[in-house]
Amino acid sequence: MWPSLEEHNLKKSGSALVLCAALLVRWLVSLHSYSGMSTPPMYGDYEAQRHWMELTYHLPVHDWYFYDLQYWGLDYPPLTAYVSYFFGYIAQFVEPALVALDTSRGYETPSSKVFMRLSVLVCDIVLFIPSLLLLAKGLYKQQWALRMEFLMLVLLQPAFVLIDHGHFQYNNVSLGFTTLAVASILQDHEVLGSIFFCCALNFKQMALYFAPAITFYLVAKCL
């Protein structure tokens, strides 16, 4: 009994250590510069994401894709727009100047940077990391060591850290939905997997790269 309990506690501690390391690396990367920092007139991808929070919060839905297209016009699918609205809604209470319509362009206060960085980190905590945990559990049901190795390799993969938490993007949201789709399909939940993949496509066009593999796999299962 006791060895089993000790092994269980060791696994829990190991899992927590991997997750904490992944979050720590992300936060350390986020302390440095980002795309377009203090570089007018367009400022870069960080400003694009902030601007989308601003316009989705203040404008009616039918204007989202047509407002001032010369300055970071919204060109991502609708789910990105609604996520921007969600964070813009929160920002209005935390720091209203961050999402003030038009006058907030190039807004870069220290507190606003913390808010923006935290928004990306929250997306990883809520979606990307849980999706990887689910996939790892499905792939390595009784192989804890392999599961931890998989999580370490993916969570600390430089591209997943540097692009979102350094350069500044929300790519891991789309990747999280795609991972949930794969995990669901591998557990024979094809309908649920299809819904998750539609969410990935509706967040970012980048998910189209995975469409052939998922489509042909699902078609093959129907034959």
Residue 80 near residue 205, CB atoms below 8 Å: no
Q: HSE on the CB side for 32, CA within 13 Å? A: 12
Residue matched to tokens 């591998």: 186
pLDDT above 50: residue 1: no
Distance CA 196, CA 189 (A): 11
Query: Which pTM value belongs to this model?
Result: 0.92
Taking only the tens place, the pLDDT of each residue in 31-89 is 999 999 999 999 999 999 999 999 999 999 999 999 999 999 999 999 999 999 999 99
For residue 219, give both structure tokens: 């078609």
Distance CA 174, CA 2 (A): 43
Amino acid occupying residue 179:
T
Taking only the tens place, the pLDDT of each residue in 177-220 is 999 999 999 999 999 999 999 999 999 999 999 999 999 999 99
